[in-house]
């Protein structure tokens, strides 16, 4: 239609109107562009707002606008500055709080709006809700972030190691928008889009271990990406972009046990508690949940729960938008999580659940995980890390472009690594009873390396009776960044020192008859960038300067080398008593 609107209907009596390229002015004069969909009804309605740097039509398709409209909400989708047809320049995390507050105020001020706004969205769309909530716009009633990061540093790093495959994949995808805008405005190089498309077809070229990264289309399409690798420590550059504290506000968080941003989602759920908030964690990765992931089928229950979440989240938001349900529903637990390996959904009053007991399993030189420490003076366990031949990524929480990189995302069998002598393994005996690990798993180490710096990459593994060794969770720590204090601390080569590897949060039953194992290596590529052993980053180290290092784990050294597990007692199965027929009562007066 000439006015840019289009009537739609749901096949019944409801009719809606969608307006495209609606201007949304910001306080600095930048004009964003929105798609507004609302019912053709009299009276004001609340607004469901989604802000996105991705194409709005794709976001609109994922949301099901009619599901929103039937709940009495208008749907407003807004392109971030510098994306879509919005003005300005897109630089991740720099304008999110102020822009979010301005857009919420704009939504509340529309003549068809009741003045009540709620938000939802996944991934970056979830993280931007945290910035918006921190700005405390008066009209904001509730948020619903799913699989969302916390601080930008943690979005791109684990234990100081850079999330290479996922981070550069996202940068490459986003740079395409900047290159397309430049081409449309006549300020870009016509060949850049062709080079970008070639990289999107073969993104592994970004991860070439033989040279420092030099990709002009990244620099021209998303110039700020370079700062991500130029600031390996959590320094002032990251602090200026950190997610601020937010006032308590009802929030519905959705997370996946194999999602790359699991740590961030759990952190944000607990960061600003509100009695009306919810958390659901399923056996999912970063994409929409289903009954299978990696090499595990979790069953229809897990898939159905993921599908039903869309309605559950919308019901939650609609209730808050319409002024109902300020607190949790009666008898509803705030936390619901899937216990992997058991196929059960559990509830809890908080995360982590109350009642876990730490269990310590010590690393031994013969590859055992045992309740007792290794004898003092035991020989170190050693392996060689060669940056030119890194240990390949096999599963885990990844969002690589095109999905699969030697195992992609989720619980993949670790046996493809079995032939490598640069991975050391420590396993329990066969378990004689179920072991429920629920919470954050930590590996305490006493280590040394012959190089100026080293990575310690740990993988928690569930070893099945048939030999399958399925990844449960993984983590890493970079020695020079282990203190996480915005400084780099180089440890002199050969110095024995202590480290803590956070393998990460999980909820996993290691069943009777299985073995629990932890694998340790000096690399996990391309999940993490490589440690060249020079005390500098991979991108700042030419291949000829890479250091082949001998890394040693001092199992009998001056401190514990141990895996610390948060264990929930397994509830006994109560016998089912027979139902006896009612007995006749005794005669009165007897």
3-state secondary structure of 266: helix
Contacts of 214 (CB under 8 A, 6+ apart): none
Cβ–Cβ contacts within 10 Å for residue 409, how many? 26
Using CA atoms, how far residue 530 sits from 363, 422, 477, 521, 546, in Å, is 25, 14, 12, 12, 10
| Burial bucket for residue 211 (CB in 10 Å: 0-12, 13-18, 19+) | exposed
Mind listing the pLDDT tens digit for each residue in 112-127? 999 999 999 999 999 9
Asked, colleague to colleague, whether 5-153+240-348 and 357-568 share their fold, the answer is no
For domain 357-568, give the CATH number: 2.60.120.260
pLDDT at position 190, please? 78
What pLDDT score was predicted for residue 302? 79
| Least reliable range by pLDDT among 91-95, 415-419, 540-544 | 540-544
pLDDT at position 207, please?
A: 77
Q: Rounded to 5 degrees, what are φ and ψ at 186?
A: 75, 15
Separate counts of helices (H) and strands (E) for the chain: 12, 28
CA–CA distances in Å: residue 318 to residues 323, 349, 441 = 8, 23, 37
- The fold adopted by the segment(s) 5-153+240-348 is Rossmann fold (3.40.50)
The predicted structure's pLDDT at residue 280:
97
The answer to whether 456 and 476 are in contact (CB under 8 A) is yes
Mean pLDDT of the chain: 91
pLDDT of residue 359 exceeding 70, the answer is: yes
Res 586 pLDDT > 50: no
Domain boundaries, the chain: 5-153+240-348, 161-231, 357-568
Res 100: pLDDT: 98
**Span of 405-409, 498-502, 527-531, 586-590 with lowest mean pLDDT:** 586-590
Q: In the predicted model, what is the mean pLDDT of residues 581-585?
A: 50
**pLDDT, tens only, 408-457:** 799 999 999 999 999 999 999 999 999 999 999 999 999 999 999 999 99
pLDDT tens digits for range 56-67: 998 988 889 999
Rounded Cα distance, 91 and 221, in Å: 11
**What is the per-residue pLDDT for 540?**
86
Give residue-wise pLDDT tens across range 266-287: 999 999 899 999 999 999 999 8
Residue 51 token pair? 């802000």
What are the tokens at 433? 């009873």
pLDDT (0 to 100) of residue 216: 86
> What's the pLDDT at 210?
60
Cα 59 from Cα 120, distance rounded (Å): 11
DSSP label of 173: H
- Averaged pLDDT for residues 465-481: 98
Report the 10 Å Cβ neighbour count for 357. 9
């Amino acid at each position: 239609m000439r006015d840019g609107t289009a009537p739609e209907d749901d096949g019944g009596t409801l009719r809606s109107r969608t307006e495209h390229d609606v201007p949304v002015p910001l306080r600095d004069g930048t004009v964003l562009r929105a798609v507004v969909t609302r019912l053709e009804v009299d009276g004001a309605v609340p607004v469901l707002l989604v802000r996105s740097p991705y194409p709005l039509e794709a976001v609109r398709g994922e949301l099901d606008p009619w599901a929103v409209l039937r709940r009495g909400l208008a749907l407003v989708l807004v392109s971030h500055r510098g994306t879509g047809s919005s003005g300005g320049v897109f630089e991740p995390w720099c304008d999110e709080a102020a822009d979010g507050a301005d857009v919420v105020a704009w939504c509340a001020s529309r003549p068809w709006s009741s003045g009540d706004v709620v938000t939802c969205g996944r991934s970056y769309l979830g993280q931007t809700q945290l910035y918006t909530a921190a700005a405390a716009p008066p009209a904001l009633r509730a948020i619903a972030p799913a699989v969302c990061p916390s601080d930008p540093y943690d979005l791109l790093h684990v234990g100081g190691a850079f999330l290479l495959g996922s981070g550069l994949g996202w940068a490459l995808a986003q740079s395409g928008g900047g290159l397309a805008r430049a081409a449309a405005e006549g300020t870009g190089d016509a060949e850049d889009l062709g080079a970008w498309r070639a990289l999107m077809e073969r993104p592994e070229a970004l991860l070439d271990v033989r040279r420092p990264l030099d990709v002009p289309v990244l620099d021209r399409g998303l110039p700020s990406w370079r700062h991500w690798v130029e600031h390996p420590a959590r320094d002032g550059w990251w602090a200026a972009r950190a997610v601020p504290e937010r006032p308590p506000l009802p929030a519905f968080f959705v997370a996946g046990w194999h999602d790359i941003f699991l740590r961030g989602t759990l952190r944000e759920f607990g960061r600003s508690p509100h009695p009306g908030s919810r958390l659901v964690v399923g056996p999912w990765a970063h994409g929409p949940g289903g009954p299978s992931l990696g090499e595990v089928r979790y069953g229809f229950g897990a898939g159905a729960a993921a599908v039903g979440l869309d309605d559950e989240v919308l019901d939650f938001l609609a209730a808050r938008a319409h002024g109902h349900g300020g607190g949790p529903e009666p008898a509803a637990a705030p936390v619901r999580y899937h216990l992997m390996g058991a196929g059960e959904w559990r509830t809890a009053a908080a995360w982590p659940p109350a009642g876990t007991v730490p269990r310590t399993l010590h690393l031994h030189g013969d590859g055992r995980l045992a309740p007792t420490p290794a004898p003092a003076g035991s020989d170190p366990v050693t392996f060689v890390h060669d940056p030119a031949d890194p240990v390949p990524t096999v599963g885990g929480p990844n969002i690589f472009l095109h999905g699969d990189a030697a195992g992609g995302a989720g619980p993949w069998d670790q046996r493809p690594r079995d032939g490598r002598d640069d991975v050391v393994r420590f396993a329990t005996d066969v378990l004689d009873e179920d072991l429920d690990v629920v919470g954050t798993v930590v590996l305490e180490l006493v280590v040394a390396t012959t190089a100026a710096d080293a990575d310690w990459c740990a993988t928690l593994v569930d070893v099945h009776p048939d030999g399958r060794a399925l990844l449960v969770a993984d983590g890493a720590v970079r020695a020079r960044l282990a203190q996480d204090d915005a400084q780099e601390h180089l440890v002199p080569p050969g110095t024995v020192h202590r480290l803590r590897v956070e393998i990460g949060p999980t909820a996993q039953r290691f069943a009777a008859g299985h073995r629990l194992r932890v694998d340790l290596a000096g690399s996990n590529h391309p999940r993490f960038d490589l440690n060249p052993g020079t005390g500098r980053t991979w991108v700042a180290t030419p291949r000829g300067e890479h250091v082949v290092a001998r890394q040693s784990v001092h199992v009998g050294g001056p401190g514990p080398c141990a895996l610390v597990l948060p264990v929930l007692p397994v509830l006994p199965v109560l016998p089912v008593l027979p139902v006896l027929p009612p007995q006749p009562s005794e005669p009165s007066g007897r």
